[in-house]
């Protein structure tokens, strides 16, 4: 709200496509980053997701990302660095954050932050690629949340004992997890591969390398 009002004050325009002044553009980018949970504005996300049940957590991880992303796609950033910094910070924080967790919902929250980082990195160069990544991420997250809901798993220990209850489902879960991690030849590798290719084309090879290394975590 503050960003749109300051934009109207500075430029006399209420239209989202007419945002030419750097201050409201940066403000609205940061506000939307806070809304989707991009690092360094991510601190609410793991805690909130941990406190929700799996169905509500699924809605927060998927459906709730659509509106902010639609706005981010329409705002043409005057300062490209902001998005790149948000993106690379998110991939690193998402990678590191999930390492010392035993709670599945927290791990998924950090995974969400990392994936959003990838999307934000390529947003200004190829919006269609961001949309593809979002779609693939939605499908993988949906599968995972539903699997956890069926096997009633909320932490890693429960996951270890779920083999006796639902063997078929338990054998699918590692595949979904590896896909979410971006391992070839699984689906999750495709958007990451294309994003790395696009970043290299844009002359951002060092950034692409850091993003690729963060995905290993």
pLDDT of res. 164:
81
From the list 188, 86, 99, the residue with the least C-alpha distance to 141 is 188
pLDDT of res. 157:
87
What are the structure tokens assigned to 104, written together? 């599945």
The DSSP output letter for 41 is S
> From CA 46, how far away is CA 64, in angstroms rounded?
15
> From CA 112, how far away is CA 106, in angstroms rounded?
10
Please provide the size of the chain in residues: 217
Tell me if 181 sits within 8 A of 173, measured CB to CB: no
Q: How many domains are contained in the chain?
A: 1
The helix or strand, by DSSP H or E, that contains position 149, with its residue range, turns out to be helix 127-151
Expressed in percent and rounded to 5, the helix, strand and coil fractions of the chain are: 75, 0, 25
pLDDT of res. 47:
94
Range of the domain at 72: 1-216
Which segments of the chain have a pLDDT < 50? none
pTM score above 0.85: yes
pLDDT of res. 13:
85
Q: Give, to the nearest 10 degrees, the angle between helix 205-216 and helix 189-201.
A: 160
> From CA 91, how far away is CA 78, in angstroms rounded?
23
């Amino acid at each position: 709200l503050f960003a749109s009002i300051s934009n109207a004050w500075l430029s006399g325009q209420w239209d989202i496509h007419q945002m030419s002044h750097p201050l409201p553009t940066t403000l609205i980018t940061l506000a939307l980053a806070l809304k989707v949970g991009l690092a360094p504005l991510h601190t609410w996300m793991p805690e909130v997701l941990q406190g929700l049940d799996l169905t509500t957590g699924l809605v927060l991880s998927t459906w709730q990302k659509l509106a902010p992303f639609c706005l981010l796609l329409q705002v043409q950033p005057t300062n490209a660095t902001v998005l790149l910094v948000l993106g690379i910070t998110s991939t690193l924080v998402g990678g590191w954050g999930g390492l010392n967790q035993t709670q599945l919902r927290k791990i998924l929250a950090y995974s969400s932050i990392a994936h959003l980082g990838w999307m934000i990195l390529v947003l200004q160069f190829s919006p269609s690629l961001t949309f593809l990544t979002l779609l693939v991420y939605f499908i993988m997250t949906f599968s995972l949340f539903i699997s956890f809901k069926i096997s009633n798993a909320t932490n890693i220990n429960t996951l270890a004992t779920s083999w006796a209850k639902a063997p078929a489902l338990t054998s699918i879960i590692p595949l979904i997890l590896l896909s979410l991690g971006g391992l070839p030849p699984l689906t999750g590798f495709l958007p990451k591969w294309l994003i790395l290719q696009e970043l290299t084309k844009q002359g951002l090879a060092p950034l692409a390398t850091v993003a690729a290394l963060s995905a290993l975590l």
